[in-house]
Structure 1
Amino acid sequence: MPTLKKIRDTMKKQKINGEIMEQMDFEADCNNPHNIISLIDKMDKLLTREQCLSIMEKQGCCKGGQRDKDCKAFALEHTDKSFSEKLALMSNIQYMMSPYLNDDGTFTITFSGYQNGVHSGKTTCACSSIKKLKQPFSVSPTYCGCCAGHFLYHYQNALGVKLKLKEINSSPLNTNGEKPCKFTFEVLD
């Protein structure tokens, strides 16, 4: 779950214009998901798409624990393999999905089939903050950059490359669960 403070700190590091940042409320109650959603909506209006993605990819949660250990162990086990070979094996790590290597060298992951009742569609959001919202609602896919940041962190560790979030292709947050979480990443190394 993104926090207002962490988003603010990331914006400062990325040298977002102070006049733009002054239009955003970073002091609101972070336990209220509507405050985070309001900030994301402001970002969508005041920043470029690339700036929004760059900020949100730094918010990823759940960067420790077993998944972190599994991804780092995967990296050590597969150091001799090429990027495409490692990518093809990523689905062997629990909860890391089955990435698809695109023709342009980017890759896409799809997080689908997860249903916890937040949406009425086929898939739903796993974010604890979103689970607090009452139906019906629609949230900007920019919010999902936080979840993409989670995958970006673990994929970087497992694959041994620097990545960038290129696109949030789809989200259950603005489709009432009809479309899955789908992210495309670009390899920078």
Structure 2
Amino acid sequence: MPTLKKIRDTMKKQKINSGIMEQMDFEADCNNPHNITSLIDKMDQLLTKEQCLFIMEKQGCCKGGQRDKDCKAFALKHKDKPFSEKLALISSIQYMMSPYLNDDGTFTITFGGYQNGVHSGKTTCSCGSIKKLKQPFSVSPTYCGCCAGHFLYHYQNALGVKLKLKEINSSPLNTNGEKPCSFTFEVLG
């Protein structure tokens, strides 16, 4: 889950205007999910979509553990295969979804059907911070850039390419669970 401090540090590295940053509360209690969602709302108001996506993709959590090991092992095993073939095989790694290669060379991952009671719809958010919110609620899809950052990290390691979050296509956070999490990534090289 994103933290106020990490978001602030990423903004500083990106040289976000200090006048804009002064309008945001980075000192609030990070254990309260409302403080994070309020900051995300402020980002949506004051920053460009591209800035928001870039900042949030840097927040991704859970970058270690078994998935990290599995993705790095996958990269070694398939290093000589072309990108499209590796992308087609990546679903063999647990929880890496089945990516779809788009005509423009980007790829999209979608995951849904997971239900833990956070939303009443078909799918829900697995973020620990979101689970603390009481129903009903709606959170900006920009928040989901953090989760996209998690997948970006693991996909980069598995595929051996540099990626960029291009789009948050849909989210259960602002649809009461009716739409799944879906992200599109651009291959940079």
TM-score scaled by length of structure 2: 1.00
Structure 2 gap segments, 5+ residues each: none
Please tell me the root mean square deviation across aligned C-alpha atoms, in Å.
0.3
Structure 1 gap segments, 5+ residues each: none
Aligned length: 189
The alpha carbon displacement at 1:111 in A equals: 1.3
Q: CA-to-partner distance for each residue in 1:99-152, whole Å, 9 max, x for gaps? A: 000000000000111100000000000000000000000000000000000000
Q: CA-to-partner distance for each residue in 1:7-50, whole Å, 9 max, x for gaps? A: 00000001100000000000000000000000000000000000
Find the aligned partners of 2:51 and 2:96 in 1 and give their Cα distance.
Answer: 26
Find the aligned partners of 2:62 and 2:169 in 1 and give their Cα distance.
Answer: 22
Find the aligned partners of 1:138 and 1:108 in 2 and give their Cα distance.
Answer: 23
* Structure 2 counterpart SS, 1:41: helix
Find the aligned partners of 1:53 and 1:43 in 2 and give their Cα distance.
Answer: 10
Match of 1:179 in 2: 179
Find the aligned partners of 2:111 and 2:21 in 1 and give their Cα distance.
Answer: 32
Find the aligned partners of 2:188 and 2:60 in 1 and give their Cα distance.
Answer: 19
Find the aligned partners of 2:86 and 2:164 in 1 and give their Cα distance.
Answer: 18
Match of 1:30 in 2: 30
Find the aligned partners of 1:112 and 1:15 in 2 and give their Cα distance.
Answer: 35
Find the aligned partners of 1:117 and 1:73 in 2 and give their Cα distance.
Answer: 34
Find the aligned partners of 1:154 and 1:13 in 2 and give their Cα distance.
Answer: 22
Find the aligned partners of 2:79 and 2:108 in 1 and give their Cα distance.
Answer: 22
* Structure 1 counterpart SS, 2:135: coil
Structure 1 outlier segments of 4+, above 3 Å = none
The alpha carbon displacement at 1:6 in A equals: 0.2
